[in-house]
Amino acid sequence: MIQKIFDGGLWLGVMFLLEPFSILFSIVLCIAILAYQKITINTIISPFIGFVTPLIIYFTYLLWNNSPEKFNDLFDFISAHKLFIYRENYTLWIFGVFLFLTLLSILLKSPKALSINDYFKKSWIILIINSLIAVVFALLVNEKNGSEIIFFLIPGCIIIANGFEVVKKRILKNILFGLLLLGTIVTLYFL
């Protein structure tokens, strides 16, 4: 458990070096520790040490190259841009459809998932929080080139798959999958 939490903090530190707004995902790590009731001094310190490790290495590199001021730029969270998602039509369409399917799946699956008191309930709550943070992250990122959608696609795909599980009729599932496939082809070639 400690190794996984350390790895989560380490990868969060690496993501922070690439995009400082990714610090938002530390909320997911904290909620996971709280949800699974694994609160010890080790589980609190491990993600912090993992997070700080790449920052120390990066600062050392910048100090060696006489440019430590670049390190301070990582902590400049002032967002001087508009909160538009995308200007390209196809990216906005993909994000909108995927967000709609995720919200629909949350509405379909949540009553059943939250009524059961087991690990799936905790995982479901963490997935929903991760998706919400990913949407906020996509809004805050300065350079919107479509790659930040990946942060939303991973938990979103899991949520959508669980939403499809709720649909009992096989014909309806096949129609939904066909529409998704058709939408992918239309987006790829026509938008």
pLDDT of residue 185: 80
**Inter-residue contact 138 to 153 (CB < 8 Å):** no
Of the candidates 18, 6, 8, which has an alpha carbon nearest to the alpha carbon of residue 49?
Answer: 6
pLDDT of residue 79: 59
pLDDT of residue 87: 57
Residue 177 has which token pair? Answer: 């999958």
Residue 154 has which token pair? Answer: 């991973």
Residue 191 has which token pair? Answer: 């938008």
pTM: 0.80
Residue 173 has which token pair? Answer: 């599932």
Cα separation, 173 vs 156, in Å, equals 18
Q: Where are the domains of the chain?
A: 2-73, 89-190
Return averaged pLDDT per consecutive 10 residues of the chain, 191 residues in all.
Answer: 85 89 89 83 88 93 87 73 58 78 88 82 89 87 76 87 84 83 76 59
pLDDT of residue 150: 83
pLDDT of residue 88: 59
pLDDT of residue 180: 80
pLDDT of residue 57: 93
pLDDT of residue 90: 64
Residues 136-161, buried b or exposed e (16+ Cβ, 10 A)? ebbbbbeebeeebbebbbebbebbbe
pLDDT of residue 51: 93
